[in-house]
């Protein structure tokens, strides 16, 4: 077994994993080709590991591919995570990235938790346990990955106060729910319909209308668009962003708190941000769940880097926005090079999508390469794996989501398809 494991050392896997592969191959009971089978087991183990992939799907925020692309290279180092460098006393981990995020949203204060779902959970637990939280029936939604508003509400200990109907909710519905003493309403929650639309005979209550209710309004905007004016993009907001709620404007409209994800339109690491009124943020920070949901310095460091890029108005430094704002003509030139150098496929117009459960139905004009037949398995088998899309019996590689440095990888993989 040991000799067999050692014969696989060139795979680069640590010895205990090679022993597992050798053991699995021997357990199959067939002495023939045992080394080849052990090598296949080692290969399977290596493929299961977290590794970079080339995203040729055109889905900018692909949940299976880790949503927003992120570069964080950091040498081993201590940080001032909870040290106040000016006083030398214990500091707060919310003093770094969270402070910059508050500045970006024009909020009094902010804290960072593990993800968007935990941001909503913490807000409800800290502000409404044992009391009522009023939500429109049209917003009792499930967002991908099993985030269901009624279930999160139940976990938080808040009591759901359903308001209005599935398709129509008016301010007066909220007002009577909030004024009914039996509901003991602590807050009104507005949940962005991130991944679906209700169309037809509909009526929604805006945050601005809700802000005059006698309870704080919490808006779960989900996607993490910071500012509808997109000052980090030279040309202002792209057309496909129309109607997406933004943190800054939602707070300006009177929300007491907003919650959003770090890895959707914000373009950072997986995180959840709670921003708004200082007393409410503080109540969240003091709740015992805040300790369980807090992020570590890796995440806070990555968020801080993205926040600084926003403050510098440097959208090009944020990978999501760099990709989202590429001109189709530039993608077309790259596609021509890929087709010419690989001798495979044809240049084709296609449509990218924001993805990540944001902006349903929204398409961004794009360009890439299309091949007859389904080649996704072969492309996925390469190193790095290339993830492409199949439709109409053809394989589509959208270059908007492929980093230009990976074009050579795509060319080599297409050549290898033969
Ligand atoms: C995505 C989303 C969530 C969940 O956020 P995660 O970061 O995936 O946990 C919650 N609410 C809304 C409105 C969302 O769009």
Q: DSSP of 316-365, one letter per residue? A: GGSHHHHHHT--HHHHHHHHHHHHHHH--SEEEEEEEEEETT-STT--EE
Residue 79 and residue 82: Cα distance in Å, rounded?
Answer: 8
Does the pLDDT value for residue 243 go beyond 90?
no
Tell me the two tokens of residue 161. Answer: 């106060």
CATH 3.40.109.10 is right for the domain spanning 54-68+326-416: no
- The pLDDT of residue 73: 66
Binding site membership of 261 for ligand 1 (Cβ less than 6 Å): yes
Closest CA to 228 of 216, 215, 246: 246
Q: Work out which ligand 1 atom sits closest to the CA atom of 117.
A: 9
Does the pLDDT value for residue 401 go beyond 80?
yes
Residue the block writes with tokens 């090079």: 337
Q: SS in 3 state form for 222-242?
A: ECCCCCCCCCCCCCCCCHHHC
Task: Please tell me the pTM assigned to this model.
Answer: 0.94
The three-class DSSP label of residue 99 is: helix
Ligand 1 pocket test target in 193, 220, 270, 299 with most atoms within 8 Å of CB: 220
Bond before 137 cis per omega within 30 degrees: no
Instruction: Give the H or E element holding residue 390.
Output: strand 389-391
225, 244 Cβ separation under 8 angstroms? yes
The three-class DSSP label of residue 25 is: helix
For residue 51, the tally of other CB atoms under 10 A from its CB is 10
Closest CA to 192 of 141, 252, 153, 229: 141
Binding site membership of 194 for ligand 1 (Cβ less than 6 Å): yes
Does the pLDDT value for residue 188 go beyond 90?
yes
Does the pLDDT value for residue 387 go beyond 80?
yes
Closest CA to 301 of 337, 269, 263: 269
Does the pLDDT value for residue 143 go beyond 90?
no
**Nearest residue CA, atom 8 of ligand 1?**
116
Residue 47 and residue 339: Cα distance in Å, rounded?
Answer: 28
184, 156 Cβ separation under 8 angstroms? no
- The pLDDT of residue 32: 87
Burial readout 54-84 (b: 16 or more C-beta within 10 A, e: otherwise): bbbbbbbbbeebbbbbbeeeeeeeeeeeebe
Average pLDDT taken over every residue of the chain: 94
Binding site membership of 275 for ligand 1 (Cβ less than 6 Å): no
Tell me the two tokens of residue 395. Answer: 């394989």
The phi, psi pair for 17, rounded to 5°, reads -75, -30
Does the pLDDT value for residue 146 go beyond 80?
no
For residue 294, the tally of other CB atoms under 10 A from its CB is 18
Over residues 332-378, the pLDDT tens digits come to 999 999 999 999 999 999 999 998 877 878 899 999 999 999 999 99
Q: Which ranges constitute the DSSP H helices of 59-147?
A: 97-105, 116-128
Over residues 283-304, the pLDDT tens digits come to 999 999 999 999 999 999 999 9
228, 246 Cβ separation under 8 angstroms? yes
Does the pLDDT value for residue 158 go beyond 80?
yes
Over residues 85-103, the pLDDT tens digits come to 999 999 999 889 999 999 9
Residue 15 and residue 5: Cα distance in Å, rounded?
Answer: 7
Radius of gyration of the chain (CA): 25
Q: Work out which ligand 1 atom sits closest to the CA atom of 220.
A: 13
Binding site membership of 259 for ligand 1 (Cβ less than 6 Å): no
Does the pLDDT value for residue 144 go beyond 70?
no
**CATH fold of 93-315, please?**
3.40.640
Regarding predicted confidence, which is higher, 366 or 197? 366
Tell me if 54-68+326-416 shares its fold with 93-315.
Answer: no
Dihedral sign (CA 408, 410, 413, 418) = negative
What residue spans define the domains of the chain? 2-46, 54-68+326-416, 93-315
Residue 292 and residue 23: Cα distance in Å, rounded?
Answer: 39
- The pLDDT of residue 142: 84
Residue 321: pLDDT band (50, 70, 90) is very high
Does the pLDDT value for residue 145 go beyond 80?
no
Please give the distance, rounded to the nearest whole angstrom, from the Cα atom of residue 396 to the centre of ligand 1. 28
């Amino acid at each position: 077994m040991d000799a067999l494991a050692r014969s696989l050392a060139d795979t680069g896997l640590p010895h205990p994993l090679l022993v597992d592969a050798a053991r699995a191959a021997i357990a199959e009971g067939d002495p023939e080709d045992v080394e080849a089978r052990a090598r296949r087991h080692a290969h399977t183990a290596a493929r299961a590991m977290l590794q970079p992939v080339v995203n040729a799907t055109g889905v900018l925020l692909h949940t299976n591919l880790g949503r927003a692309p992120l570069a964080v290279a950091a040498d081993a180092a201590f940080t001032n995570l909870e040290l106040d460098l000016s006083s030398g006393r214990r500091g707060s981990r919310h003093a770094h990235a969270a402070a910059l995020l508050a500045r970006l949203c024009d909020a009094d204060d902010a804290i960072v938790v593990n993800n968007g779902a935990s941001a909503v959970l913490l807000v409800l637990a800290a502000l409404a346990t044992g009391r009522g939280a009023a939500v429109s029936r049209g917003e009792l939604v499930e967002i991908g990955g099993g985030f269901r508003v009624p279930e999160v509400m139940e976990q938080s200990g808040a009591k759901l106060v359903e308001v209005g109907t599935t398709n129509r909710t008016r301010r007066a519905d909220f007002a009577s729910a909030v004024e009914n003493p039996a509901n003991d309403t602590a807050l009104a929650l507005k949940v962005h319909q991130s991944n679906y639309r209700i169309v037809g005979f509909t009526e929604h209550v805006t945050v601005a209308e809700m802000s005059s209710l006698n309870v704080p309004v919490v808006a779960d905007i989900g996607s993490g668009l910071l500012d509808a004016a997109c000052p980090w993009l030279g040309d202002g907001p792209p057309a496909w962003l129309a109607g997406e709620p933004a943190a800054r404007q939602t707070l300006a409209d009177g929300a007491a708190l907003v919650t959003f994800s770090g890895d959707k339109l914000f373009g950072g690491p997986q995180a959840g941000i709670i921003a708004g009124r200082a007393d409410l943020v503080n109540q969240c920070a003091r709740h015992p769940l805040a300790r369980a949901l807090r992020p570590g310095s890796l995440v806070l460091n990555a968020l801080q880097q993205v926040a600084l890029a926003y403050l510098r108005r440097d959208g090009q430094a944020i990978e999501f926005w760099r990709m989202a704002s590429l001109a189709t003509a530039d993608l077309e030139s790259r596609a021509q090079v890929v087709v010419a150098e690989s001798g495979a496929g044809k240049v084709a117009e296609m449509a990218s999508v924001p993805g990540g459960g944001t902006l349903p139905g929204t398409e961004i004009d794009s360009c890439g390469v299309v091949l007859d037949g389904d080649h996704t398995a072969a492309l996925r088998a390469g190193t790095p794996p290339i993830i492409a899309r199949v439709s109409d019996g053809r394989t589509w590689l959208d270059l908007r989501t492929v980093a230009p440095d990976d074009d050579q990888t795509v060319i080599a993989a297409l050549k290898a398809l033969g």
